[in-house]
Amino acid sequence: MTRLNASGWTMALAWLVLSFLALPAFIVIPVSFTDTRYLALPQDHLSLQHWQTFLTSRDWLLSIWQSFWIASVSTALAVTAGTLCAVGCWRLASQNAERVRSLMILPLAVPTIVYALGVYRLYVRLDLVGTGLGVVLAHAVTGLPYVVLTVSAALANLDPRLEQAARGLGASIGQTLRWVIVPNILPGVLSGAIFAFIHSWDELLVVLFIGGRALFTLPRRMWDGINDNLDPVIAVVATGMILFTLLVLTAELSLRTRRSAVEGRGT
């Protein structure tokens, strides 16, 4: 009975902490339906005027497109490099491999503003400030650790004898990677891709430093909007980003649950 009571108190505390962290973010949802011209909760009635302004604004739609293609390309680069790095470290299984893996997740330990400043100084010399390529490469580096961590976790559950059997049957390294290793670690690859995409989609500081005046991703335009005036359209954008993130995470969780159920029936 004591153990059950402790478990109940732990669960209640967990929900309390989660509510404390999440509620301030979700407060922007009702604000996005305000009938006023400033950031405030709806007073007389709910209104979609700010949603209409957002969906018909060329500047906001352009920011959506820039955020999407930057996140997509940087995620593709991060997934490719991170998966190959994780697989290589898994195959080597040595101290040097562990050092390489630690180096790959180093961007998580470096403060974003420090990284952004360092990248800016480098890009000034390479003439990449204000270019889409520069932002894509910078986001790919910061998205790399998520892929390395999730793929490494998936590889930890992969039987090395599967690779040995494939190589023994005459498969090349590329064929083994494509037909044996990747299908078995696909959930880890997809999880890393989702986290890398969300990270790039929400990233602000790097774009502020190296984006110049040509690139205005959604976080960048929200930042400029907050500095200029407190337009309720910002609450609309924040609501959209929250819902988009929740949708992606829910889809990833659904796919993972379905795959676990299929594997459970298979065993």
Domains of the chain: which residue ranges? 47-266
The pair of structure tokens assigned to 63 is 């920011």
User: Looking at residue 180, what DSSP letter applies?
Assistant: I
Q: Residue written as tokens 């190296």?
A: 210
Whether pTM exceeds 0.85: no
Rounded Cα gap, residues 149 and 162, in angstroms: 21
- In this prediction, residue 263 carries a pLDDT of 62
Could you write out the three-class secondary structure of 21-38? Answer: HHHHHHCHHHHCCCCCCC
Compute φ and ψ for 22, nearest 5 degrees.
-90, -35
- In this prediction, residue 2 carries a pLDDT of 54
Rounded Cα gap, residues 10 and 33, in angstroms: 36
The pair of structure tokens assigned to 240 is 């959209």
Find out if CATH 1.10.3720.10 is the number for domain 47-266: yes
User: Looking at residue 53, what DSSP letter applies?
Assistant: H
232 within 8 A of 50, measured Cβ to Cβ: yes
Q: What is the pLDDT along the chain (267 residues), one digit of tens a residue?
A: 455 556 677 888 888 887 777 777 778 888 888 888 877 888 878 888 889 989 899 999 999 999 999 999 999 999 999 999 999 888 887 788 888 888 888 898 899 999 999 999 999 999 999 899 999 999 999 999 999 999 999 998 888 888 888 888 888 888 888 888 888 899 899 999 999 999 999 899 999 999 888 889 999 988 887 776 778 888 888 888 888 888 888 887 787 777 666 666 655
